[in-house]
Structure 1
Amino acid sequence: MALHGLFSPFLVTAPSRMAIPSSNAPKLCASKPVQCITTPVTTTDHDQGSASRRNANYVPSFWDYNVVKSLSSNYDEKKYEMQVEELKEDVKRLIHAETDVPLAKLELLDSVHRLGLNYQFQKDIKQAIDRICEADSQLGNDLHSTALLFRILREHGYTVSQDVFQKFTDETGKFKANLGEDVKGLCSLYEASFYGFQGEDIMDQAKAFASEHLKNLLQGNLSPIMARKVHHALDMPLHWKLPRVEAVWYIHTYEQEQNKIPNLLKLAKLDYNIVQSVHQKEVSKLASWWVDIGLGNLPFARDRLVEHYFWANGIVSGPEYSAFRDMATKVICLITTVDDVYDVYGSLEELKLFTDYVDRWDITEIDKLPMHIKTVLLAMFNTVNEIGYWTMRERDFNIIPYLRKQWANLCKAYLREATWYHSGYKPTVEEYMENASVSIGGLLMLFCAYFLTADKITVEALDFIDKVPSIMWCPSVLIRLTNDLGTSSHELARGDILKAVQCYMNDTGSSEEVSRKHVDDLVHETWKILNKDLLGSYPFSEPFLSANPNIARTSQTFYQYGDGHGIPQHWTKDHLKSLLVEPFTLNE
């Protein structure tokens, strides 16, 4: 596997430069005024007499925590251990079997990945890909096999050039028109195009060409299963989907395939159910913690324990990383609650005190704060100490000095936004993204993903992470942009600062439609940078490497159709039920 130490100009070591280094993005223009909608709802804080405070009126959790605490499953790992091992050995034989049809092997590897089993066969898959690469001349010249191989190679960190698609272009460099009827090839080309890098013009053309023709083919007479696959791809590309979310859809789809492999399907269902039973135990324990800590009862804050578990699970879902999901969920709960303190509840003076206490990591003067804010601050300190104790005991490393610095950086970013809001200041896109890519909380979550999953924590890796390399900054930008595309109208209505869309409108005088298109383009450009970053060489390994794109995928899952976090909509509920409640039916 060829790895490259590539750090694009996107590398940020200080919060003084713009966080959207897209050379292909439209240039920003001089500021023009745009009206910010501010219609906050206020409430009375009885701790502070008649002090008037905002209230975002978030909808309550739709989860009954007594039910969450009682979640259980019959799919205990020990009970099915022998059956799983037998099925795994059968799949391994298929992966390693000699074949005269390399395309069939590629499709098998793709199915293993999309069924959620990639983590079970990592070494086997690498060996199979190496053998295919050695005999790639046998793959043929069709679009489907070429695009599938390209995607699988980049998906697994191998170096492959976009030039493999030149044979499908004409003398003008455009994709040949006759490819427009090859629905299977177009689907593969479309999925492959999302693994492109900045400056790869062929991949940009591939994305536009495949997208246009797939939309046209949907108006024709595709078979039901092929139409379903095309709809699924156009809804969100595979590269942007969470592996366990994709596994649910693909298991149902694979079940309908005529050439399905029964034992592979059975293993996928059984594995999903067993891992689900692990996740049920984890979220059940967290529900007890959440009820006991009492933050879900704060009148101004979002009660989203199960959704926050979904965030942590999306970042690292492997069953062996329970400790990460437990502590990361607690951190994400605190990030959201602290965010609501700054965005909704606290006065500017209170927020300055809160930020100062976190920066100095000193709560001796905590009684200057009202009860609700004091409760949040104490919960933060206690949780950080709990995580620090675990890390000292299990990893022999004192992580607290590093973790408190991350919290201080986050609270300073929150305070800057609160200062903008209270002064009525409208930031430029550069100012907004420089700060908002920190205030979204992604960097703190990723920091936790490193030290809570690493077998050995090293100062070298922590120093590297502290400089916020591109591989971490890109996902934070993606969380910010996808969040803004899904939530900005709602947040403005409650009385918040301008978001990325409105900042661009203010900077350029563009319409909301044009500005949303610009922000969406930045999402695509940022993914291109991240794609290249994922081929880099770093002082850390899995699962932290995959955690970086996974956190962006989680955000895109939440905000795909709107605010699936602040106002959990049907797609969020469906994902959570699949993840935690609904096992697959097995034909015993």
Structure 2
Amino acid sequence: MSHQTSLVSVSTMKSPNTSKVERPLAKYHSSIWKDHFLSLSTEAMKIDVVMEERAKQLKAEVKKMLMISNRNLLEKLSLVDSIQRLSVFYHFENEIDQILEQIYANYRDFTSIDGDDDLHTISLLFRLLRQHGYRIPCDIFTKFVESNGKFKESLAEDARGILSLYEAANMRVHGEDILEEALDFSVKHLKNIMANSNSKFGAEIEHALKWPLRKDLPKLKGREYITMYQEDPSHSQTLLAFSKLDFNILQKLYQKELKELTRWWKDLNVETNFPYARDRIVECYFWTLGAYFEPQFNVGRKILTKVIAISSILDDTYDAYGTFEELQIFTEAIQRWDRSMVSILPEYMKPLYIAMLNHYKEISKEIGMDENSFHVHTTKEEIKKLARSYFEEAKWLNQNYTPKFKEYMEWALHSTGYFSIISVALIGMGDIVTNEILEWFFRKPKIINASTIICRLMDDIISRKFEQERKHVTSGVECYMEEYECSEEEVCVEFQKQVVDAWKDINEACLHPLDVPMPILMRIVNVSRVINLLYTDEDGYTNANGRTKFLIESLLVNPMPC
């Protein structure tokens, strides 16, 4: 049975009769935020001169701290780690690179010392070097292992060391058995430590077990870590003050950007034009902040937020409103990318189609390139593929067809929208993204496929029950259950294993020698982190009135007390 996407001739198209049509409506909650960000005053978002000058002064002092040469290894590592966790590392990238380069050149001198009292130091060294692309071997942990291959139980008393080992193990790649053992060992003992209500690391451990540093959003971690760092008796008052000030300055910048985006969203009249769709412009911006929070990516945040928002409505149009006949015409219109196609679309589809064409035209202006440039062409091709994948799934539903898992994944990886999101995230980075980078993207290297696998499988695990409450295309869980005759629980375990393997692929791609510069790779790491955050335990995008609301408040609403 062939299931290639086939569309219809324009000459046979006409706008279908949409009266008395039964539609697979979903029950999405309305926007939480309404006009909150639109109502913010200019004064409230103002970054005054005193604030900027104070930040400049503190930044210079932190830079001096980094350049002090007589610090011991642990002091150097701890300072770099704190700067990264506080999410101010983007100010000091050159200084951090110099420090880690020197440490890597001599790391064997630090790791050949006998004894168990340096588990934290060795784990921290390993993680920081791996995060920066250094291919430091995992055999540096051998001295902590017994002859039977198990980690020494005497280490269990070192809560800080065990937590650092756990974070290091999350940087593992395929074939690193000692790090697999490290993960099992650290998780077991961290759970025991967490059960002890007296442990000062309890809250930190609970968060880390769900969202280790490798899979957490830097800016959210920064907000959370400021409080932890403040309670550390050895903290630097200068670094703490700078981190708080930097957080508040960026928050005001984000609020300005979100105010502009909310106005654009309101002009689309989403509540009236697309009442069936998720009204989530603030959550779309939050998603984009996960991709890049640094201030220089303001253009990227603007264009990517709009693409995610448009794609979300597109998803709901295919998934929760459009009839098969309507979607067939709509898909062909998107492939042709021609404003004249508006005339054959149903009335409710016209505003979305026009908004899509307008925004991609706007993208070319925002990035300073012609509409026919390879950069803009790349993003258009990806959203066309996204529409084709949505339509293929609509065909499966229309024909009551359950594909084999391999066929499902071929289309479902595209229907995540992540190929489209990554393409836009890349062109929003500026001159660093050359045509050669985009050609690399088009080849769909392992790191990009890994990111889409994480998105697809975590989404399927979490969203399947809500989606099956109405008429909905079969999910990957059902496809796998039917083909391999296994239980839902067994499928979810298998999917989780595949997600773990995908993270190993991502980690491997971020080790030297690199195919593309590290900033490019970090966009893909970051969008993968967003999925890990939003789709652990719940669909935090669709159901955004719980934990997601709290996270948005902490990042975009509540300033950090200075």
Question: Do they superpose with TM above 0.5?
Answer: yes
1:393-437 per-position Cα deviation (integer Å, ceiling 9, x unaligned): 599946443332112111111111111111111122222222111
Match of 2:135 in 1: 159
Matched, 1:250 2:220: no
Kept in 2, the 8 Å contact 1:309–1:325? The answer is yes
Structure 1 residue 102 displacement after superposition: 1.0
* Structure 1 pair 541–71 and aligned structure 2 pair: CA distance change class (3 A): farther
Name the SS of the counterpart of 2:259 in structure 1: helix
Q: Distance in 2 between matches of 1:497 and 1:488?
A: 10
Moved more, 256-265 or 176-185: 176-185
| 1:293 positional shift | 1.3
Question: 2:69 corresponds to which residue?
Answer: 98
Alignment gaps of 5+ in structure 1: 1-14, 17-44
**TM-score after normalising by structure 2:** 0.92
Please, what is the CA RMSD of the aligned residues?
2.3
Checking the alignment, whether the CA contact within 8 Å between 1:69 and 1:288 is kept in structure 2 is: no
- Report the 3-state secondary structure (helix = DSSP H, G, I; strand = E; otherwise coil) of the residue aligned with 2:201: helix
- Give the residue type in structure 2 aligned to 1:51: V
| 2:92 alignment partner, one of 121, 128, 132 | 121
Determine whether 1:403 maps to 2:379. Answer: yes
CA distance in 1, matches of 2:439, 2:173: 27
2:479 aligns to what?
503
Other-structure match for 1:260: 235
CA distance in 2, matches of 1:439, 1:249: 33
1:540 Cα deviation from its structure 2 partner: 4.6
Match among 25, 50, 58 for residue 20 of structure 2:
50
Distance 1:120 1:404, change over 3 A: same
1:87 aligns to 2:58 (yes or no): yes
Post-superposition offset of 1:512: 1.9
Q: Which residues of 2 match residues 516-555 of structure 1 at below 5 A?
A: 516-535=492-511, 540-541=516-517, 543-555=519-531
1:291 to 240, 257, 266: 266
1:474 Cα deviation (Å)?
1.2
SS in 2 for 1:54: coil
User: Which residues in structure 2 correspond to 1:53-68 (within 5 Å)?
Assistant: 53-65=23-35, 67-68=37-38
Aligned partner of 1:340 among 289, 303, 316: 316
2-structure distance, mates of 1:328, 1:400: 13
Q: Distance in 2 between matches of 1:204 and 1:71?
A: 52
**Partner Cα separation in structure 2 for residue 566 and residue 453 of structure 1:** 28
Q: 1:132 aligns to what?
A: 103
Match in the other structure for 1:23: none
C-alpha separation in 2, matches of 1:397 and 1:84: 39
Q: Secondary structure at the match of 1:218?
A: helix
Partner Cα separation in structure 1 for residue 325 and residue 512 of structure 2:
44
Whether 2:240 is the aligned partner of 1:240: answer: no
Cα shift at 1:99? 3.2
Question: What CA distance in whole angstroms lies between the structure 2 residues aligned with 1:103 and 1:240?
Answer: 24
Deviation at 1:312, TM superposition (A): 1.0
Tell me: CA distance 1:268–1:456, structure 2 relative to 1, closer, same or farther (3 Å).
closer
Give the match for residue 5 of structure 1.
none
Preserved contact between residue 392 and residue 398 of structure 1 (Cα < 8 Å): no
Cα deviation for residue 58 of structure 1 reads 0.9
Residues 435, 108 of structure 1: CA spacing in aligned structure 2 closer, same or farther, 3 A cutoff? same
Matches within 5 A, 1:420-499: 420-455=396-431, 457-499=433-475
1:112 paired to 2:83: yes
Aligned match of 1:4: none
Instruction: State the AA in 1 paired with 2:76.
Output: K
Distance 1:207 1:374 in 2: 52
Equivalent position of 2:491 in the other structure: 515
Does the CA contact (< 8 Å) of 1:301 and 1:341 recur in 2?
Answer: yes
User: Structure 1, residues 93-125: CA drift from partner, whole Å, max 9, x if none?
Assistant: 221212353112211111110001111111111
C-alpha change, 1:313 and 1:296, in structure 2 (3 Å) is farther
Question: In 2, are the aligned partners of 1:75 and 1:273 still within 8 Å (CA)?
Answer: no
* C-alpha contact (below 8 Å) 2:364/2:370 kept by paired residues: no
Deviates more, 1:400-409 or 1:555-564: 400-409
Cα 1:570/1:99, change in 2 over 3 Å: farther
Hey, what's the Cα distance between the residues in 2 that align with 1:340 and 1:311? Answer: 18
Question: Conserved in 1, the CA contact under 8 Å of 2:307 and 2:421?
Answer: yes
Counterpart residue identity of residue 510, structure 1: C
Aligned equivalents of 2:416 and 2:280: distance in 1?
Answer: 16
| CA–CA distance in structure 2, aligned partners of residues 177 and 398 of structure 1 | 57
Determine helix, strand or coil for the equivalent of 1:455: coil
Alpha-carbon distance, 1:126 to partner? 1.1
Deviation at 1:131, TM superposition (A): 2.7
- SS in structure 2 at match of 1:65: coil
Distance 1:230 1:365, change over 3 A: closer
Alignment of 1:198 with 2:168, yes or no, is: no
Which residue of structure 1 lines up, in the alignment, with residue 327 of structure 2?
351
Q: How far is the alpha carbon of 1:453 from its aligned partner?
A: 1.0
Distance apart, 1:79 and its partner CA: 3.6
Alpha-carbon offset, residue 507 of structure 1: 2.3
Structure 1 SS opposite 2:282: helix
Q: Confirm or deny: 8 A CA contact 2:37 2:255 kept in the other structure.
A: no
Residue 543 of structure 2 is aligned to residue 567 of structure 1: yes
Bigger mean CA offset, 46-55 vs 534-543: 534-543
The 1-side partners of 2:493 and 2:218 are apart by 27
Aligned: 1:310 with 2:294:
no
Displacement after TM superposition at 1:205 (Å): 1.0
Question: Greater relative contact order: 1 or 2 (C-alpha under 8 angstroms, separation 6 or more)?
Answer: 1
Q: Percent identity among equivalent residues?
A: 33
Aligned with 2:23: secondary structure?
strand
The one-letter code sitting in structure 2 at the alignment partner of 1:57 is: K
Q: Is the 8 A contact 2:426 2:520 kept in 1?
A: yes
- Give, in angstroms, the shift of residue 68 of structure 1: 3.5
Q: How many residues are matched? A: 543
Q: What's the secondary structure of 1:52's corresponding residue?
A: coil
Structure 1 stretch displaced more, 78-87 or 545-554: 78-87
Distance in 2 (alpha carbons) for counterparts of 1:264 and 1:485: 41
Q: Which moved more, 1:119-128 or 1:422-431?
A: 422-431
1:275 aligns with 2:245: no
Alpha-carbon deviation of 1:456?
A: 5.3
Give, in whole Å, the separation in 2 of the partners of 1:391 and 1:163: 46
Q: Is the 8 A contact 2:396 2:402 kept in 1?
A: yes
Q: Following the alignment from structure 2 to structure 1, what is the Cα–Cα distance between the partners of residues 435 and 467? A: 39
SS at match of 2:171: coil
Q: Deviations over 1:318-343 (max 9, x none)?
A: 11111111111110011111111111
Question: Does the 8 A contact of 1:197 with 1:532 survive in 2?
Answer: yes
- 1:296 Cα deviation after fit: 3.9
1:119 partner amino acid: Y
